[in-house]
Chain A
Amino acid sequence: MEGLGIDIKLLIAQLINFLLFFLIFKKYIAKPFSSFIKNEIKKDEEKEKLFAEIKKKEEAMIEEEKKLKAKMKRDLEEAILKSKKEAKAYKEELIAQAKKEAEEIVKKAKKQIEMEKKELEKETKKKVIDLALILVEKGLENYLDEKTQKEINKKMMENLKKVIN
C-alpha cells in the first residue's frame, strides 16, 4: 500500500471521518429531512385528496345546480304554459260570455222592435178605423135627411121586438 503511495493511517482516518460524517449526517440531517419530506409528501397527498374531494363535491354541486336550474326552467316553462292555457281559457270564456250577452242584446232589441212594430201597426189600424168611422159618420150626417131617418126609424120599429129580444 505504501508502495502505491497510499497512507493507511490517513485512509483509516478519512474512513472514520467519513463514517462519522455519515452517521452525523444521517442522524441529524438526513433523517429529519427525510421525515420532513415524508411529512410534506403526506400533507401533499392529503391536500390532493382534499382537493379531489372538494373537486368532487364541487362537481356534484355543479351537477346539482344544473339539475336544479333545469328543474326550475322546466317548472317555469310549465307555469308559463299553464298560465297561457288559463289565460286562453279565460279569454275564450270572456269572448263566449260577451258573444252571449251581445246575442241577448240583439235578441232583446229585435223583440222590442217587433213589439213596437206590432204596437205601431195596431195603432195605425186603430187610426184607420177611427178615420174610416169619422168619414162614415160625416157621410151619414150629410146623407141622412129627415125623410130617410124616418124610414130608418120605421124599419127599426118594425124590427124592434127582435132587437130587444
Chain B
Amino acid sequence: MKAKIISTYRLGKDQIEEIRKKIPLIKEAEIENEVDKKILGGIVIEVEGKIIDLSILGKLKTFKKNLYEAI
C-alpha cells in the first residue's frame, strides 16, 4: 500500500514516522513525501483514493464553503 503526504517543505523521517504513528490507515504504507507550497501549511495525506486534508488551504476551503452556505 502506498501513501502520499503533501507538505510545504520536505518532511524529516522522524516527522513522517510521527504522522504514521498517529494515523493507523498509513501504518503499514510506503510513504512518499511531496512538496507543494500551495497548501500554505499543514499536510495533505492521500491513501487508497482517500484524502485527509489537514492543510491551511483545506481549512480556508472549508471556511469558504461554510460562508457560501451562510449566504
Contact with B along A140-165 (1 / 0, CB 8 A): 11001010111011001100110110
User: Are B40 and A126 in contact (CB-based, < 8 A)?
Assistant: no
Query: Beyond A144-B40, A146-B9, A153-B43, is A160–B56 a contact (Cβ under 8 Å)?
Result: no
Interface residue ranges of B52-66 to A (CB < 8 Å): 52, 54, 56-57, 60, 63-64
Contacts of B60 in A (CB 8 A): 133, 136-137
The answer to whether residues A144 and B68 also contact, given A136-B60, A164-B52 and a CB cut-off of 8 A, is: no
Is A129 interfacial (CB-CB < 8 Å)? yes
A-contact bits for B31-64, CB 8 A (1 contact / 0 none): 0000001001111000000001010110010011
| CB closest residue in chain A, given B12 | A150
Interface residues on A, range: 20 to 34
From B9, B18, B63, A133 is in contact (CB under 8 Å) with B63
Q: Are B19 and A157 in contact (CB under 8 A)?
A: yes
A140 and B42 within 8 A (CB) = no
Q: Which residues of B contact A57 (CB under 8 A)?
A: none
B contacts with A, residue count (CB < 8 A): 23
> Would you give the shortest CB distance from A86 to chain B, in whole angstroms?
56
Bound-state CA distance A85–B26 (Å) is 91
Question: What sequence of 0s and 1s flags, for each residue 1-13 of chain B, a beta carbon within 8 Å of any chain A beta carbon?
Answer: 0000001110000
Taking a contact as CB atoms under 8 Å apart, the answer to whether B23 and A129 are in contact is no
Is the pair A144, B22 in contact by a Cβ cutoff of 8 Å?
no
Contact (Cβ within 8 A) A160 B8: no
Question: A residues bordering B, Cβ < 8 Å?
Answer: 122, 125-126, 129-130, 133, 136-137, 140-141, 144, 146, 148-150, 152-153, 156-157, 160-161, 163-164
